[in-house]
Amino acid sequence: MKIAYILNTYPQPSHSFIRREITALEAAGHEVFRFAMRAPDVALVDAQDKAEEARTHYVLAAGGGALSAAILRVLLRSPMRFGKALGHVWNAARRAETGLFRHLIYLAEACYLRAQLDNSGVQHLHAHFGTNATMVAMLCHILGGPRYSFTTHGPEEFDSPRALSLDAKVRYSGFAVAISQFGRSQLCRWADPADWKRIKVVHCGIEPAKFPAPTPLPDGPRRLVSIGRFVEQKGQLAVINAMALLRDSHPDLRLTLIGDGELRGEIEAEIARHGLQDRITLTGWLDEAQVTSELAAAHGLVMPSFAEGLPMVVMEAMAAARPVIATYIAGTPELVQPGQTGWLVPAGDVSALAEAMAALHDAPLAALEEMGTKARTRVFARHDVSLEAAKLAELMANPAR
């Protein structure tokens, strides 16, 4: 099957799950075209991401002339379809915060995409995130392009479901994907009940082959690692405050924060305010091999998120046989089992987070190793990317199922 992936900004350091999904589809014999509206806005450090950038067709890079020509071509060839798409743009813009002009750009992008797909043999479009990329895929379909599907991750899509016209995006899709049962429930909230049958669960996946026999837990002071964008929803400030609570009782506990983002300055200031510069390390973004190395050197992962979908880093930590401390939100409890594979705490509860971190610190290595073994078994059973990509491909071939 020939498939086109429709994305907003691609690749991104935090979107390795998309790259893995595409790679798994290609390994199964499918041909995948990559279309993104714009190039990455951060420096890429992973060689695999750099290779993806070279293989991606960037729509806005074509320029205003090419997009205008595409609009004219669709208008002359399919005026009724263009009128229908324009009506959807008008309806969506009335509900959105971004306004009509932004939605007219989406229509121009859809016209350009429609032209690029002519004679390509592409049978199906798939978008990630229920935001503008899915709007472009939907409009392209309305303009006569292939059927489409999209994967929602959360939490952003579920923060503004009406503004994003999630109901229309589900209605016109061949199917819509959620990455957890929780995510499916949120799509069902906003979709017409008649369309619930279109909403499927396909997990994001990891590559088991990249997680051979795990590195034994290290001796010495206990070390936690946290991985993610430095944004409000990831809750890094909460874990810094938890470290401050443990300052006197657990002076040898260490934390490494991997990632970067708009809150970096505030995070650095909070670390300095508590005098934790010698206990908390900021690495910036690391490539996949470096992240694997950091997990191997840690005793567990801590994810203090306030809002999530189902974090890939939780899956990667479990695959590396590391216990996980996470918050009881969204799809996370579907994977992390308290007392078995880690700890779950209420989001925003710094005291409970500190207690879980202390529990990991105080637990015997043998207990942590047993948790890690159970975590590894569970994530391999539920999140093998080859199996999940096969589910996705089957849905693409038979969307009515």
CATH number for position 248: 3.40.50.2000
Same domain? For 196 and 215 the reply is: no
Same domain? For 166 and 193 the reply is: yes
Residue 400 pLDDT > 80: no
Same domain? For 245 and 217 the reply is: yes
**Residue given tokens 């529990």 in the structure block:** 359
Long-range contacts of 366-374 (CB under 8 A, 24+ apart): 368/217, 368/299, 368/300, 368/323, 369/216, 369/217, 369/321, 371/323, 371/340, 371/341, 371/342, 372/214, 372/217, 372/318, 372/320, 372/321, 372/322, 372/323, 373/321, 374/337, 374/340, 374/341
Find out whether 198 and 227 touch, Cβ atoms under 8 Å.
no
Same domain? For 157 and 230 the reply is: no
Rg of the chain, C-alpha, whole Å: 22
d(CA 16, CA 46): 10
User: H or E element: which one contains 36?
Assistant: strand 31-38
Q: Average of pLDDT values for 325-330?
A: 96
Same domain? For 117 and 145 the reply is: yes
- Supply the pTM of this predicted model: 0.90
Per-residue confidence (pLDDT) for residue 45, from 0 to 100: 86
What confidence category does residue 287 fall into, taking pLDDT thresholds of 50, 70 and 90?
Answer: confident
Same domain? For 196 and 238 the reply is: no
Find out whether 351 and 243 touch, Cβ atoms under 8 Å.
no
Per-residue confidence (pLDDT) for residue 97, from 0 to 100: 81
Per-residue confidence (pLDDT) for residue 41, from 0 to 100: 86
Same domain? For 265 and 363 the reply is: yes
Same domain? For 313 and 239 the reply is: yes
Residue 38 pLDDT > 80: yes
What confidence category does residue 288 fall into, taking pLDDT thresholds of 50, 70 and 90?
Answer: confident
Same domain? For 214 and 186 the reply is: no
Q: Position 171: which residue type?
A: R
Same domain? For 51 and 178 the reply is: yes
Kindly report the backbone phi and psi dihedral angles of residue 380, in degrees, each rounded to the nearest multiple of 5, phi listed first. Answer: -65, -35
What confidence category does residue 401 fall into, taking pLDDT thresholds of 50, 70 and 90?
Answer: low
Same domain? For 105 and 252 the reply is: no
Q: Range of 69's domain?
A: 2-205+384-397
Domain count for the chain: 2
Find out whether 375 and 324 touch, Cβ atoms under 8 Å.
yes
Same domain? For 70 and 147 the reply is: yes
